Amino acid sequence: MSFALASPLALGLAILVAGPILAHLIRRTPSRRHAFGAMLLLRRLPKRARRRRRLSDKVLFALRALTVLAVVGAIAGPTLEWPGAVVELGGSGAVVLVVDDSLSMALQDDAGGTLLSRARAEAVALVRGLPENTLVAAVRLGGTAARITPALSLDHALVIAALQNIEQSSLGTDLVGGIRIGRQLLAGEGGELVVFSDEAGEGIIEAATSEIALLTAQGGGLVPRPIHAKHPLNVAVIGASYGSGPEGGSVEVSVHNYGDEPVEVPVGLSLPDGTEISGFIALAPNETVEKLFTIPRVAMGGVGSVKIDDGHLPQDDVGSFHLPTVGASRVLVIDGDPGLTPTASEVYYLERALAPWGRSVSLDGGVLPDITSPSGVEALDPEVHRLVFMANVADPGPWANRLISFVNQGGNLVLSMGDNVSVERTNAVLAKLLPARLRRPRSLGGSENDGEAAALPDVSHPLFSPFARGGLAGFSRLRFARLMTLEPFQESADVDILMKTQGGLPLLVERKVGAGRVLLFTSTLDVDWGTLPLAAVYMPLIQSMAAQLGVVGGGGARRLEGRVGEVVALTIKAISETLVVTGPQGVVDSTVDGGIFRFVPTHAGVHHIASEGLPVVAQVAVSINPQESDVRRYTSLAVTAADVDPERFMVRVALDRYGFWLALILGLGATVLSRQRGMIEEVADVA
């Protein structure tokens, strides 16, 4: 706040205060007095009267002097001024409306809507109130600022429609870019930039100082229109990360309270295998709390998520984190027909479907198959393995009890058939696991190419859901020359046929046993009985099967971190033009340039990069930028703009009128007091 005078020279009139001084000196009582006659008898009374008169005269003198000074001050034109004025539109003829659609504008206002909806309504009302000959344009600020109208236009209806179509984003505030675009639209011809924003976030306003200065230098003017919530409250997930430990490890979740009130929020952790862990977090105002969630000793790897519910900004109530496979991390593959060469092995195709990028890459987070012959089944360890493939094994009798115990305790088993399988022995020792009893192999055609075709599976089942977006037709091209038939059985809550031939013969049957599951595949996992291993659907089907049975899929999919609104880049050898990014809201736009795959996520959560019908190439854990979760106002756009253009943003209060009123009041007071003193003296003289 500062003080200024319109006419400083008028203060010279203060010399007029000499008038009251002279008047009081002239009326001064003589200093030397001579007593005579009867006046000697009144000596005591005049002394008391003189004391009262002197005290009263000082007050009267002060009132008269202050009256003169108040008149002089009013004539000098005093003014109080301070920055922060609400600037009104000045009829410049060109107006650019800048609307903040960043994440913090999703905060609810006191009327129940969001700050963005209020900003849109006020912007539309402003345009409707402008003269018809006013040029108008509009800009949005979320993420990277952009025009929502191509140029200044007299078509106000077009601008209104563009403003009404602004949607809420989960992105940051690009105030610098928005003012720059607005300045470019005005093209140095003057005009006004009206900014509708909640002004939230540390450093957001200060960063735009240089652009405000350029706008002012080019003859433009900034007109702030703050959109504030009465009580800006928000709690956000600002981080989540996994740390290993002796009992499976833990996930540390960081939550921050950006409000000025203590809160308690529920928090839930979702692991890739569907496990849910819940709790509560209490936070003081402006406090960050880290809470640890213990992960089970056995957990499927992938990308997990954390969610809170604070009732304010739902977009930043979600976080994501990478979770390695905890505990059981390997697949045991029992090869019942090793063959003389690798390609002749029963599990040659299976091994490459499980780990298409090789064993070294699988060690970094993909499926790691342990290949063994039937005699090496003692390597089965429930603390290490989550899944067992038993391929064309003749006699599982020696370790059948071990398999039964493994499945009952939560392990999973896939049985595939072949010429080595003994129907009688398998039915006898694995009756507690088989979805249906085996009958005998059956030939379905003269060769594998003219065998029976597979029917299309149900993509609503989790096992086949990866084929919902493409590749499903590949199942109809499968041919099976030979299948293991099954004795008649009834489907139930525990037994389900997942895949059939077009003739109705079961191809894949599931049974729930104890805490685990068993899948019976009535054909072979190699090319002896059919064409499945040669089909495009083979690898993604095996990958999906492993994932559904508790093993992280993706064949060593890369794990990346990303933030909403920021570019995620991935270098992939022999990159495919068919790679697609799928996020929480569906497919995300992406580009390929120079061997670099890029995309910009618009929502928090898990994003998968893959080609249709093929394993996932990368998993990206995307989070919100914590800066945008901060809904607090650190500084005012008007105050910052006032530092650049103080004349435009200065509040001025003229004090001259108050000076004249003060002089009038003081003058009246002096008159009344003088009148009273005169009456007292007259009474004294008469007495």
Domain ranges of the chain: 2-84+654-686, 94-231+632-648, 235-323, 330-548, 558-628
What is the reported pLDDT for 360?
A: 43
Burial class (CB in 10 A: 0-12, 13-18, 19+), 369: buried
What is the reported pLDDT for 137?
A: 96
Question: pTM of this prediction?
Answer: 0.57
H/E segment holding residue 78: strand 78-83
pLDDT, one tens digit per residue, over 488-526 is: 999 999 999 999 999 999 999 999 999 899 999 999 999
pLDDT, one tens digit per residue, over 383-434 is: 778 899 999 999 998 889 999 999 998 889 999 999 999 999 999 999 999 9
pLDDT, one tens digit per residue, over 609-666 is: 887 666 677 889 888 888 888 988 888 888 888 888 776 666 667 776 777 787 788 7
**pLDDT grade, residue 558 (50/70/90)?**
confident
Task: Name the residue with higher pLDDT: 311 or 44.
Answer: 311
Task: Name the residue with higher pLDDT: 295 or 648.
Answer: 295
Burial class (CB in 10 A: 0-12, 13-18, 19+), 410: middle
**CATH topology for the 94-231+632-648 domain:** Rossmann fold (3.40.50)
**CATH topology for the 330-548 domain:** Rossmann fold (3.40.50)
**pLDDT grade, residue 2 (50/70/90)?**
low
Across the range 75-85, mean pLDDT stands at 67
Written as six digits, the tokens of 364 are 């970094």
94-231+632-648 and 330-548 have identical folds: yes
Burial class (CB in 10 A: 0-12, 13-18, 19+), 451: buried
**pLDDT grade, residue 31 (50/70/90)?**
very low
Q: Which residues contact 343 (CB under 8 A, 6 or more apart)?
A: none
Q: What is the C-alpha to C-alpha distance for residues 224 and 199, in angstroms, rounded to an integer?
A: 10
pLDDT mean across residues, the chain? 82
Written as six digits, the tokens of 179 are 């003012």
Strand-pair partners of 610: 580, 616
**pLDDT grade, residue 84 (50/70/90)?**
low
Across the range 447-454, mean pLDDT stands at 74
CB atoms near residue 207 (< 10 Å): 14
CB atoms near residue 95 (< 10 Å): 25
**pLDDT grade, residue 110 (50/70/90)?**
confident
pLDDT, one tens digit per residue, over 339-387 is: 877 778 899 999 888 877 654 444 344 567 888 888 778 888 887 788 9
Torsion of CA 613, 617, 621, 622, to 10 degrees: -80
CATH of domain 558-628: 2.60.40.10
**pLDDT grade, residue 124 (50/70/90)?**
very high
**pLDDT grade, residue 40 (50/70/90)?**
low
| Cβ contacts of 50-57, under 8 Å, gap ≥ 24 | 53/29, 53/677, 53/681, 56/673, 56/677, 57/24, 57/27, 57/677
Written as six digits, the tokens of 249 are 């490890």
What is the reported pLDDT for 364?
A: 40
What is the reported pLDDT for 683?
A: 60
CATH of domain 235-323: 2.60.40.10
Task: Name the residue with higher pLDDT: 8 or 660.
Answer: 660
